[in-house]
Amino acid sequence: MQDGGDLDGARALCERALAIDEAAFGPNHPAVAIRLNNLGMVLESQGDTAGSKTLFERALVIDEATAGPNHPKVATRLNNLGNVLRQEGDLPGAKSFFARALAVDELTLGQNHPKVAWILSILALVLKLQGDLAGAKDLCERALVILEVAFGPDHPDVASIFNSLGLISKAQGDLHGAKALYQRSFRILREFLGDDHPKTRTVEKNLRLLEEELKTAE
């Protein structure tokens, strides 16, 4: 239902599932943590970041107690909390949760796992928003190396990193470098996702705006 857009229906089902598992297993069972997380995702989609944050925090406490602080489930809860705090504008808090999630995933999955690259790219976004462009660039470059090795140089996930690096280069004032990165991203996305995909259109817009800026600067 959530994927279909019926968030109210999805919320009602998640609340029923949570109530059933809490009654069957008690409030601190791992199954309850899963239900809390699922309900939190729905609330987040509805724009209730405060409500989703409370549920994610409860799920985190349960999973840390039952699975230990370095379990992949814990990294997922930390990442979810980081996303909520980022939406709320709490960038230092978001950075802290993403950094913790990254440490867990590096420990459990290895430093070259695609999920690690994903967390690196999210953490890079937070650093960019904080004005740490050099730090954001370093993290994106780490993510790029991981994804190119894992998926090859022409994968859509690689294209997303090129776009992120383009945004950072533009913010640093390197317009020509940004253009080259956008072009690489756009080429990959057109080939794999098509001209009408939202990701392709986003990069195309970034490229078009940058080209207009370069013309004005000439």
- How far is it, in rounded angstroms, from Cα 135 to Cα 132? 5
pTM of the model: 0.90
Asked if the model's pLDDT at residue 1 lies above 60, the reply is no
Residue-averaged pLDDT of the chain: 96
The band of 59, judged by pLDDT with boundaries at 50, 70 and 90, is: very high
**Percent of the chain's residues with pLDDT above 90:** 95
What topology does CATH give the domain 153-218?
A: 1.25.40
What is the three-class DSSP state of 83? helix
pLDDT at 217 (0 to 100): 78
CA distances 215 to 8, 133, 207, 209, Å, are 48, 25, 12, 10
Asked if the model's pLDDT at residue 24 lies above 80, the reply is yes
- How far is it, in rounded angstroms, from Cα 31 to Cα 38? 11
Mean pLDDT, residues 134-139: 98
pLDDT at 3 (0 to 100): 54
Digit-coded pLDDT (tens) for 86-106: 999 999 999 999 999 999 999
Tell me the domain boundaries of the chain.
Answer: 153-218
CB-CB contact of 137 with 127 (8 Å): no
Digit-coded pLDDT (tens) for 147-189: 999 999 999 999 999 999 999 999 999 999 999 999 999 999 9
CA distances 2 to 6, 46, 58, 76, 143, Å, are 6, 10, 21, 19, 30
